[in-house]
């Protein structure tokens, strides 16, 4: 008897670790409507790893096709179907944007498409959503979402991502889950972050993130829907470091959630890579595209340029030097509000060490949640189990703010 086959689709990821994680990242938010498993697996079939160009082509094609269906649905009066397609198209454009040439017109176009399509979906959501601009040196962008029809002050969570996330992506990561539980959710992109760099390409990260966070909290507390006594700050990925830094100085925050709690960014990043021959030689940003691919492969050029551009550095060594400012250990004792530290056991020894250090040094009550392989949630930011991460996050806040 021949083998029974129920599908031509096979669950297949990538051998290249970062490609595989980015696939998991895109597919992981399917829990909240940001993707479908089948569409993501289909996109992988035409990607040659680790070739960034083939990644961009495949995901952009999927995004275009999904957007086309969304418009057809809308024109025929199927607004729920249109909304769902628009949300997925936005995430697929973001996925294509990720590996597009750094600071190129192509990358910017894809990023703006992700933002525009997401905005088109907002009026179709069963909640209230605003596109916002927060006054700052360079105005910060984002979204304020809340349950429909209830103007009373309520629990509020201010949330932002890290090195390469966006406020649109955060809607799927924790925004919708918060509104479902009765929270106001402020999603924003700060200096250096992808969402803001789409609009203002010259913005760069800064180590004193308490300064932009102060402006965000000012804006948030000016809204009548916000209960100032139930205000949480949530930072994801590199945002786990930036939110910890901010909480050391910004005392209007009533709860802090760091996912993951990164104390020393330079050491954390260094734990991902192994020193290689030739790393004692500096290189200027302008020289990177001229290096032959057999010496510096395209995906490594992409990573180097991304690092330099986001930290406002002209050379690789200058970027590494800037990373050394992102250390917060000496200030952690100033954090005296309740804290939740979220960390996956698959994130590596250094990430786990820094999570423990964070828990030991803060002054406020701290809860640590270690997500495991057995739970299917061990990945960085629980990208492989977003629903569980949201359950842990909001159950903790619900009990704290009860």
Segments of the chain with pLDDT less than 50:
277-278
Q: Does residue 71 sit in helix, strand or coil? A: helix
Task: State residue 5's pLDDT score.
Answer: 66
pTM: 0.96
Q: Looking at residue 272, what is its pLDDT?
A: 74
Which DSSP string corresponds to 131-188?
EEEE-SSS-EEEEEEE-TT--S-EEEEEEE--SS--HHHHIIIIIHHHHHTT-EEEEE
pLDDT at residue 2, rounded to an integer = 59
Domain boundaries, the chain: 9-125, 127-264+326-402, 268-323
At 341, is the secondary structure helix, strand, or coil? strand
The answer to whether 363 and 334 have CB atoms below 8 angstroms apart is yes
Rounded Cα distance between 85 and 66, Å, is 6
- Rg (C-alpha) for the chain, rounded Å, is 21
Taken in order 245, 250, 251, 257, is the CA torsion positive or negative? negative
Per the document, the length of the chain is 402
What's the longest Cα–Cα distance across the chain?
Answer: 70
Q: Return the pLDDT at 392.
A: 99
pLDDT of residue 250: 98
Q: What is the pLDDT of residues 122-137, one digit of tens each?
A: 999 999 999 999 999 9
Q: What is the pLDDT of residue 7?
A: 73
pLDDT of residue 278: 45
CA distance 61 to 96: 9
Catalytically annotated residues = 237
Fold for 9-125, please state it: de novo design (two linked rop proteins) (1.20.1440)
Helix axes 298-310, 52-75, angle to 10 degrees: 70
Domain 127-264+326-402, CATH number (from 3.40.50.300, 3.20.20.450, 3.50.50.60, 3.40.50.1820)? 3.40.50.1820
Buried b (16+ CB within 10 A) or exposed e, 64-98: eebbebbeebbeeeeeebbbbbbbbbbbbbbbbbb
């Amino acid at each position: 008897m021949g083998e029974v086959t129920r599908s031509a689709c096979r669950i297949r990821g990538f051998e290249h670790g970062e490609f595989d994680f980015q696939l998991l990242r895109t597919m992981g938010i399917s829990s909240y409507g940001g993707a479908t498993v089948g569409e993501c697996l289909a996109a992988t079939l035409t990607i040659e790893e680790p070739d960034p160009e083939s990644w961009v082509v495949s995901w952009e094609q999927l995004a275009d096709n999904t957007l086309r269906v969304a418009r057809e649905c809308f024109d025929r009066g199927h607004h729920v179907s249109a909304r769902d397609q628009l949300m997925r198209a936005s995430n697929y454009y973001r996925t294509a944007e990720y590996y597009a040439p750094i600071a190129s017109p192509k990358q910017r176009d894809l990023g703006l498409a992700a933002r525009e399509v997401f905005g088109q979906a907002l009026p179709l959501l069963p909640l209230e959503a605003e596109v916002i601009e927060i006054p700052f040196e360079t105005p910060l962008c984002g979204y304020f979402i809340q349950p429909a029809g209830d103007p009373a002050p309520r629990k509020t969570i201010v949330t932002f991502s890290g090195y390469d996330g966006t406020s649109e992506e955060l809607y799927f990561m924790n925004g919708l889950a918060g509104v479902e539980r009765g929270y106001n959710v402020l999603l924003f992109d700060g200096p250096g972050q992808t969402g803001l760099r789409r609009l203002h390409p010259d913005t760069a990260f800064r180590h004193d993130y308490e300064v932009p966070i102060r402006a965000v909290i000012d804006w948030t507390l000016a809204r009548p829907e916000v209960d100032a006594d139930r205000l949480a700050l949530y930072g994801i990925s590199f945002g786990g470091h930036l939110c910890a830094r901010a909480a050391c100085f910004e005392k209007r925050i009533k709860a802090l959630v760091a996912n993951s709690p990164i104390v020393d960014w330079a050491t954390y990043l260094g734990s991902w890579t192994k020193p290689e021959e030739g790393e004692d030689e500096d290189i200027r940003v302008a020289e990177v595209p001229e290096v032959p691919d057999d010496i510096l492969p395209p995906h490594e050029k992409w990573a180097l340029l991304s690092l330099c551009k986001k930290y406002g550095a002209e050379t690789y060594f200058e970027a590494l030097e800037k990373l050394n400012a992102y250390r917060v250990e000496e200030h952690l004792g100033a954090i005296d509000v309740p804290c939740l530290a979220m960390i996956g056991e698959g994130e590596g020894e250094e990430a786990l060490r820094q999570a423990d250090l964070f828990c030991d040094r803060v002054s406020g009550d701290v809860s640590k949640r270690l997500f495991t392989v057995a739970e299917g949630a061990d990945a960085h930011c629980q990208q492989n189990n977003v629903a569980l991460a949201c359950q842990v996050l909001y159950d903790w806040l619900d009990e704290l703010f009860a």
